[in-house]
Amino acid sequence: MRDSFTSGWFIIQGGCLVAVVRGANAPLLSTTVVKELSKEHKVLAGDAERVEIRDPMFAHLDKEKAAMDEDENEKDEEGK
């Protein structure tokens, strides 16, 4: 059996992942973009806070980053 792939759309605002649309669903993608743009206008106006989401598909990256940060902190402490 061959691997199967699904298209994915990641909506990023201010460097934060705020929405994910999986698959080639144009109406859902369009609705999501409009909704997220509306939210971003409120964030920029100071009327709302940006809510970052963590995609479970990338949870391993958070663990790797935490481990790298810990290694850097240990090196910094040893150098003092």
Is residue 3 one of the residues assigned to a domain?
no
Is residue 48 one of the residues assigned to a domain?
yes
Is residue 56 one of the residues assigned to a domain?
yes
Q: Give tens-digit pLDDT for 14-30.
A: 888 899 898 888 999 99
Q: Give tens-digit pLDDT for 35-49.
A: 999 999 999 999 999
Q: Which residues contact 55 (CB under 8 A, 6 or more apart)?
A: 10, 17, 20
Distance between CA atoms of residues 18 and 61, nearest Å = 17
Count: domains in the chain:
1
Q: Find the range with the poorest average confidence among 1-10, 11-20, 43-52.
A: 1-10
Domain range holding 40?
Answer: 8-79
CA 24, 25, 26 angle in degrees (round to 5)? 105
Q: Give tens-digit pLDDT for 65-77.
A: 778 878 777 777 7
Is residue 1 one of the residues assigned to a domain?
no
Distance between CA atoms of residues 11 and 32, nearest Å = 9
Is residue 31 one of the residues assigned to a domain?
yes
Contact indicator for 32, 19 with CB cutoff of 8 Å: yes
